[in-house]
């Protein structure tokens, strides 16, 4: 059983983690919708998505959880249900990617549920580690490989990944 101070610390760490993810995503060259924007635009049943980035042909859905417990099947189902609803509303995009970012790995049942939803147009990525800096680095690497971050005119990235992690985490 957790004490009030342990729960408070866990909540603050979770909020801090979500703020770090939001900060990174806001560095992209695309508009980032946060949970409040998503719920306002798509409805209250879509509160299971923390952030959305829309590129010219792809929508990226982000859910970030920094908890001590594994990510469960109901959490995954909530995230994927919100994604499936938004896909029915967005007819101008042809690719959809869900990214689940967490401290702990998904349970095997949760992984299987995401695999079952994967098609040619929809797929899921998971980023997890107990080391928050490493999770942030993996997220930055993912965003670079998808060309979501801002780039210099010569095509190079505007900031070294390790420099960005240091800036965020300190």
> Could you tell me the residue range of the domain that residue 43 belongs to?
4-169
Q: Which residues contact 22 (CB under 8 A, 6 or more apart)?
A: 32, 34, 50, 51
Give the confidence band of 42 by pLDDT, cuts at 50, 70, 90: very high
Q: For residue 93, give the CATH number of its domain.
A: 3.40.91
> CB neighbours (10 Å) of residue 62?
27
Give the confidence band of 99 by pLDDT, cuts at 50, 70, 90: very high
Number of domains in the chain: 1
β-sheet bridge partners, residue 33? 52
Give the confidence band of 146 by pLDDT, cuts at 50, 70, 90: confident
- pTM beyond 0.75, yes or no: yes
Give the confidence band of 50 by pLDDT, cuts at 50, 70, 90: very high
């Amino acid at each position: 059983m957790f004490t009030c101070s342990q729960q408070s610390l866990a909540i603050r760490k979770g909020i801090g983690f979500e703020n770090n993810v939001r900060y990174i995503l806001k560095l992209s060259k695309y508009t980032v919708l946060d949970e409040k924007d998503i719920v306002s635009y798509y409805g209250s049943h879509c509160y299971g998505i923390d952030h959305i980035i829309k590129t010219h042909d792809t929508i990226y859905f982000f859910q970030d959880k920094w908890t001590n417990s594994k990510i469960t099947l109901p959490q995954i189902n909530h995230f994927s249900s919100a994604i499936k609803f938004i896909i029915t509303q967005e007819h101008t995009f042809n690719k959809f990617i869900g990214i689940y970012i967490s401290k702990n790995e998904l349970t095997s049942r949760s992984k299987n549920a995401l695999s079952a939803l994967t098609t040619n147009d929809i797929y899921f990525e998971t980023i997890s580690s107990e080391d928050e800096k490493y999770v942030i680095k993996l997220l930055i690497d993912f965003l670079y490989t998808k060309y979501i971050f801002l780039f210099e005119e010569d095509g190079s990235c505007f900031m070294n990944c390790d420099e960005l992690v240091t800036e965020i985490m300190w």
